[in-house]
Amino acid sequence: MVPTGAYGTWPSPIDAALAASHDGHPEYLGVVGDEVWWTAPRPAEGGRRALVRLRADGGEESVLPAPWNVRSRVMEYGGMPWAGAHREGQGPLVVFVHFADQRLYAYEPDVPGAGPRPLTPLSTVGGGLRWADPQLRPERGEVWCVLEEFTGSAPTDVRRVIAAVPLDGSAAEDRSAVRELSDDRHRFVTGPRLSPDGTRAAWIAWDHPRMPWDATVVMLGEVTEHGPFAAVRPVTGGNDESVAQVEWAPDGSLLFTADRTGWWELQRITSDVLDGEARTLLCPGRGEEFGGPLWKVGSQWFRPLESGLIAAIHGTGATALGILDPETGELVDAAGPWSEWTPTLAVHGDRVIGVAASPRSAYEIVELDTRTGHTRVIGSPHDDPVDPAYYPEPQIRTFTGPDHREIHAHIYPPHSPDRVAPDDELPPYVVWAHGGPTGRAGLVLDLEIAYFTSRGIGVAEVNYGGSTGYGREYRERLREQWGVVDVEDCAAVALALADEGTADPDRLAIRGGSAGGWTAAVSLATTDVYACGTIIYPILDLLSWATGETHDFESQYLESLVGPLEDVPGRYRDRSPITHVDRITVPFLLLQGLDDVICPPVQCERFLEQMAGRQVAHAYIAFEGEGHGFRRADTMIRALEAELSLYAQTFGIDRPDVPLLELRK
């Protein structure tokens, strides 16, 4: 007989160190020769991103030792940080961005004694020179990429262009040797995609105050011998339409995913026209997303194959990898258990490689052979660090919120093979609000969730109004309603769980990071639903955030989320948690990275000054060396244990095995 234990007191083999060691997942796939390469997290190595290659014998090898950190800071969220090519008789050449100095480096890993050599110079102006989405052009002796160049000390003193960097290192100390291929007529650009005949380049551009999921435009330019692109013109996209990705098909037609229909759908403009009005939907009427929010430059939701077929990540909520025949519109999904594919794809002949996960497996490198339809894991395979019996069993739920609107959520009830709860006890639940807010919580195995559920604390991940994956109308529910719709939707899910007898109404909590931290803080200030909350690198003061306390990419994001500041200044004040600290009466934990330039620590510091003397139990932990999103194992361990201690103290749970979080008043 399974022993009985109160919710929250259950023993679990999933400790904070184990959860931290499995945080993060492979990103940024590419093919170099016949090898698959990607970046991988290394929490135990200071949180760096390693570049990994898959050898022909199936072995994985880190290309660069610590402290090399392959990660871009363009738009602060980064993007594709490397490119590679195989040279006959010489082995691979890889170009990558090193996080510490943001320089581009070239490296020949198979040349004995060779080390990374810089290709770009340093700059002492503002945030310096940064690079992303590189495209190797060995025939020209160049690498083409996005250049982000700071022109002053303010976060918004910045320009972005497409640039060509010499591979011979002549620009390593000479900024003038970098050849600019586009002008800076647009504030934001993605890396260029070269047509099969090499005569034209296409890229995506957009401008403040629009975000890339609001409105972008596809630009087309003619490639010249030594100068910038010529005859540059917009092809498609524009006001109220988001183009998330653009690529060339082997026949020279232009492929892109855009949401004019209300969904990001795959479309084509033939090479003989290249006019946006003549575009064709390739898989119409499915009511699914074939794209997503362009938070990171170089994200890929589809890739054309040499055969003319198109590999595409698609779905509503959950995602699948499908192979689309653009001539017939037939879409065939890859077989397998995976319910979430990240926006990174690589193709090699008839093979398609992606990164996928499921509710029972973490992200792994998956290969699809389009000739046979066979799928297999080829890299970073999921390995159960504990008995899978400790994993939660998620429920895909749709709740009803205010105005009868649908709210999508994943519910993870408490679960353990070692304990059952007393019949007369309801479990505590923590509502998780994802970041973005233009983002989504995927249906994947997350050991941070299992850390709580295996101890008897339920988790409810809410894809509140404003989340991606459910069409543009759902995404735009948050337009000028941030701090309202997200808060209402999270509360509606929490209260529904309590009303149906799934959760203890007196033991509900909320947690979130970044935009989710905002939602958590506003929820504590404007509702009485929660007994406590965990607020992680949050936005707490809208007015300051909108007037210089964040980076350039999101500096005008609040125009759509809240409204134009000059039109509704009172709204910025009235919705900010820092204005309503008197309404916060329950315990909270505040976690912050001291190197965060997106949601800077000064927001937390001012918030705590306002809370001083109010006799509300709270704790603040600031982490040196952490930015926006924790990456170091020791940070994540301390943060998880502190969060669990908050819930244990608030919910009356005995957890002597967890370090006690000191709550001050």
Domains, the chain, ranges and CATH?
388-651 (3.40.50.1820)
What burial letters (b/e) apply to 279-296, b meaning 16+ CB within 10 Å? beebbeeeebbbbbbbbb
pLDDT at 88: 83
**Per-residue model confidence as pLDDT tens digits over 200-218:** 999 999 999 999 999 999 9
Would strands 374-379 and 395-400 be described as parallel, antiparallel, or unpaired? Answer: unpaired
| 93 CB burial (10 A radius; 0-12, 13-18, 19+) | buried
Residue 642 DSSP one-character state: H
How much is the mean pLDDT over the chain? 96
Distance separating alpha carbons of residues 5 and 423, to the nearest angstrom? 10
Where helices occur in 319-381 by DSSP H, the ranges are none
The answer, yes or no, to whether the previous bond of 437 is cis (omega within 30 of 0) is: yes
352-375: average pLDDT: 97
Residue-by-residue DSSP string for 478-539: GTTTTTTHHHHHHHHHHHHHHHTTSS-TTSEEEEEETHHHHHHHHHHHH-S--SEEEEES--
523-532: average pLDDT: 98
**Per-residue model confidence as pLDDT tens digits over 249-286:** 999 999 999 999 999 999 999 987 776 678 899 999 99
93-105: average pLDDT: 98
pLDDT band for position 117 (cuts 50, 70, 90): very high
186 within 8 A of 205, measured Cβ to Cβ: yes
394-410: average pLDDT: 96
Taking alpha carbons only, the member of 8, 41, 6, 38 closest to residue 23 is: 41
Taking alpha carbons only, the member of 201, 251, 209, 247 closest to residue 343 is: 247
Q: What is the pTM for the complete model shown? A: 0.96
pLDDT at 56: 83
Coil/strand/helix, residue 322 = strand
pLDDT band for position 412 (cuts 50, 70, 90): very high
- Please give the torsion angle defined by the CA atoms of residues 176, 177, 181 and 184, in that order, rounded to the nearest 10 degrees: -20
pLDDT at 87: 86
Distance separating alpha carbons of residues 392 and 453, to the nearest angstrom? 6
Q: Which residues pair with 142 in a beta bridge?
A: 137, 166
Q: Over pLDDT 90: what percentage of the chain?
A: 95
620-628: average pLDDT: 97
Q: Over pLDDT 70: what percentage of the chain?
A: 100
pLDDT at 57: 86
pLDDT at 157: 97
pLDDT at 276: 63
Taking alpha carbons only, the member of 518, 527, 663, 546 closest to residue 604 is: 518
277 φ, ψ (degrees, to nearest 5): -75, -15
State yes or no: pLDDT of 493 exceeds 90: yes
283-306: average pLDDT: 96
pLDDT at 273: 72
